[in-house]
Amino acid sequence: MPTTTVSVTWFSLALLLGAGGGLLNAVMTDNLRLLPAFVKSGGTTRVLRIGLAGNVALAALASTACVWALGFPGPLVHQADVGHLLAVLATSSCIGFGAARLATNEADKRLLHEAVCKASAAPAAPPATVRAMQTAAPWVVYTTTSELMPPPLAAWRLGL
């Protein structure tokens, strides 16, 4: 079998397994919205939530780049044994999951920072809401703090 065919095969495998790691991360971090989206929070701050497509694409690219840089396909051209195959499988999945996880963690940190800023400007929240936010996902905390803000002063005067 020609070397280019084997390399393309292994890169394709790394790409698919990395994408699987990104899919797993999207499910675990509640990033199941299909496309990336910016979340605006008062002022000029915009936080990017990379979504399902972003998780999968980032993980697939990172996994493929790392497998290529580590040179996994090289030994497989001449001696394709089970140990090398398992190494490629495990490495691709872990690198894909880890790369997507880093990106979503950064977005979640920014969301939580914005949520804290909003919560500090809001009046005291009911104890049940505070307890619910203790274990909620970052996106849920952010939307909950947005709901804690009182309506604008004009709405208070009109009784809305």
- How far apart CA 13 and CA 27 sit, in angstroms, is 21
Q: What is the DSSP letter of 140?
A: H
Closest C-alpha among 60, 61, 39, 42 to residue 50: 39
Residues in CB range of 157: below 8 A, 6 or more apart:
none
Higher pLDDT among residues 57 and 151, named by residue? 57
Is residue 14 within 8 A of residue 92, CB to CB? The reply is yes
Per-residue pLDDT tens over the stretch 143-152: 888 777 776 6
Instruction: Provide the residue ranges of all domains of the chain, joining segments of one domain with +.
Output: 3-158
Is residue 94 within 8 A of residue 52, CB to CB? The reply is no
**pLDDT, position 66:** 81
How many Cβ atoms are within 10 Å of 110's Cβ, its own excluded?
Answer: 19
Per-residue pLDDT tens over the stretch 73-113: 555 555 556 677 777 778 888 888 998 998 888 888 888 87
**pLDDT, position 14:** 79
The answer to whether the Cα torsion of 104, 106, 111, 115 is positive or negative is: positive
Q: What is the pTM of this model?
A: 0.68
Q: What is the DSSP letter of 107?
A: H
- How far apart CA 140 and CA 56 sit, in angstroms, is 22
Which of left, alpha, beta for 43 (phi over 0: left; psi -120 to 50: alpha)?
Answer: left
Residues in CB range of 134: below 8 A, 6 or more apart:
none
- How far apart CA 53 and CA 90 sit, in angstroms, is 22
Is residue 145 within 8 A of residue 119, CB to CB? The reply is yes
Listed ranges 2-6, 39-43, 147-151; the one with the highest mean pLDDT: 147-151
